Structure 1
Amino acid sequence: MTAIQAGAVRTRTSPYRVTFAHQVRSELLKLLTVRGTWWSVAIVAVLNVGLAFAITSTLSAPADVMMAVVAPVQFTMLLAGILGVISVTGEYSTGMIRSTLTANPVRGSVLAAKAAVLAAFMFVVALVIMLITAIAITPLAVANDLGIAWNEPEQSILPIVSAAGTMALFAILGVGLGFVLRSGAGAIAVTVGILFVLPIIVTLLMGFASDVTWIQTLGDYLPSNAVQSAVMPSEEWGLSRGEAWLTLTGWSAAALLGGWAVLRGRDA
């Protein structure tokens, strides 16, 4: 019996074995003590506020100012996915994953805890940043004879909460891809491909075959397009809000299930 196997047996039989709550606390501690996490948060904040101001300055009545608050999600979703990726691949590159799995040999618990922590963290961060953004652009909006209808939650609070929720799902997508590929560069490349390259390919195909409706339908179910329908749906294009949320959840769930299969089937 190897040392790792012996450790795993002791962990299973010890009264001090790692519980899911302990694993969540461990993942939260690892996330909050890595500088890359806070760099990602800073970039998300700068992008969100900067783009919101730029968009608001170009709007005129009767435009919806909330669009300026949530539109940057089209860019910050990539950062959420990358943060999910590096939270996993960083452990593989340093070998820390072996210690994690020795302390808690229930691999599904490790994956679930990491995904839950990343999703919750990203949701809270995005929610706070977008609320601050909405407050910050209010004077500029008022100067342009615009405003945010805070008295109508469906037009103000719901888009912000929805956008924060999509950021959590993109973080989970990154976690799943990180466990599937275990390579930071590879997983980030796939994340970029899913979120940015695939929509470009679909757009090019539509340019050459505009009469093929299935290409447009395919594009609607890509994460980058579904996120628009999930946050601010339109009756004129895209998916319904329910379809969009099912689509985004499906992408994240597929990545997470793939990560779980690889984590269970391969040695660390």
Structure 2
Amino acid sequence: MTVAARATHVPTSSFTLTFPRQLRSEYIKLTTVRGTWWSVAIVAALTMGIAFLATLTMTAPADTIMAVVMPVQFTMMLAGILGVISVTGEYSTGMIRSTLTANPVRGSVLAAKATVLAFFMFVVSLLIFLATAAMISPLAASSGIPLLWDDPGKTILPILAASGAMALFALLGVGLGFLLRSGAGAIAMTVGILFVLPIIVALLGSFAQDIEWIGNLGNYLPASAAQNAILPQDGWGLSAPEAWATLIAWPAAALLGAWAVVRGRDV
């Protein structure tokens, strides 16, 4: 083994020793940054505000849970941006050098940050959605359209699915952050994937209605897949398994690319 190889070689057991510490480190870094809590506050405000307004126009029982989870279409960008800034913030301040010095197993750095972000976003989103459901329940009941808490398939499962989707959007941001290392570039890419691409595909579909694959392409974008994963509907879009596979594939591809890039460059 050459000197360079010995310098970069880390025993497999080192991963198991350093990974729990890396998780704690990433959790501390995430929760002590003011921007994290500003993002959470904005997600909560948007979710509750949109749900409250939607509840005022409800006409059927199915609309109640839709009012709770519908804001994901707006808050998904904030989840992605939080994932981006959790990575690019370290690159902009140079802290990434300290992180990689403390843990030279670069794959574990990526895995720890992704794990912490996903868990944090899932828990925070779950609490926000549950609080939103509790908030609109009295208003819905007063309109004669109560939230169906006694049917987990129509209430709890969509809330869990929406929370999982928010975690996956955050992971997409993490992957793009490591890939691009630029906060502005990664945020622009995240916004492009989540918001701009659906608009472009919709416009192309309206101009080329005879080309079926263009219309189907939109179903495989994260925003559309999230709708089908959270509230699957027969005869519209993807089935639930297809939607989850699509929703997972986007951050998985970004994280895989990030892993290859992080391992191959100096910082």
Asked if Structure 1 and Structure 2 have the same fold, meaning a TM-score greater than 0.5 normalized by the shorter chain, the answer is yes
Deviation at 1:201, TM superposition (A): 0.3
Structure 1 range deviating more: 95-104 or 56-65: 56-65
Structure 1 range deviating more: 46-55 or 142-151: 142-151
1:177-223 CA-partner distances (Å, limit 9, x unpaired)? 00000000000000000000000001101111112110121000000
Q: Give the Cα–Cα distance (whole angstroms) in 1 for the partners of residues 109 and 139 of structure 2.
A: 46
Structure 1 range deviating more: 59-68 or 108-117: 59-68
Q: What is residue 150 of structure 2 aligned with on the other side?
A: 151
Contact 1:61 1:145 in 2 (8 A): no
TM-score scaled to structure 2, two decimals? 0.94
- What is the number of equivalent residue pairs in this alignment? 262
Q: Say yes or no: does 1:266 pair with 2:257.
A: no
Q: Say yes or no: does 1:31 pair with 2:64.
A: no
Contact 1:27 1:117 in 2 (8 A): yes
Structure 1 range deviating more: 63-72 or 192-201: 63-72
Identity %: 68
Q: What is residue 118 of structure 1 aligned with on the other side?
A: 117
9 and 206 in structure 1: CA distance in 2 versus 1, 3 angstrom threshold: closer
Q: What is residue 239 of structure 2 aligned with on the other side?
A: 240
Q: What is residue 130 of structure 2 aligned with on the other side?
A: 131
Contact 1:126 1:164 in 2 (8 A): yes
Deviation at 1:63, TM superposition (A): 4.4
Contact 2:85 2:183 in 1 (8 A): yes
Q: What 5-or-longer segments of structure 1 have no aligned partner?
A: none
1:138-172 CA-partner distances (Å, limit 9, x unpaired)? 11111221111111110000000000000010111
Q: Give the Cα–Cα distance (whole angstroms) in 1 for the partners of residues 137 and 260 of structure 2.
A: 47
Q: What 5-or-longer segments of structure 2 have no aligned partner?
A: none
Deviation at 1:234, TM superposition (A): 0.5
Amino acid at match of 1:207: S
Deviation at 1:106, TM superposition (A): 0.3
Q: What is residue 199 of structure 1 aligned with on the other side?
A: 198
Deviation at 1:62, TM superposition (A): 4.6
1:52-74 CA-partner distances (Å, limit 9, x unpaired)? 00111011235421000000000
Deviation at 1:236, TM superposition (A): 2.3
1:83-122 CA-partner distances (Å, limit 9, x unpaired)? 0000000000000000000010000000000000000000
TM-score scaled to structure 1, two decimals? 0.94
Q: Give the Cα–Cα distance (whole angstroms) in 2 for the partners of residues 265 and 206 of structure 1.
A: 39
Q: Give the Cα–Cα distance (whole angstroms) in 2 for the partners of residues 105 and 38 of structure 1.
A: 29
Q: What is residue 85 of structure 2 aligned with on the other side?
A: 86
Contact 1:18 1:103 in 2 (8 A): no
Backbone CA RMSD of aligned residues:
2.0
Structure 1 ranges of 4+ moved more than 3 A = 8-12
Deviation at 1:11, TM superposition (A): 8.6
Amino acid at match of 1:148: L
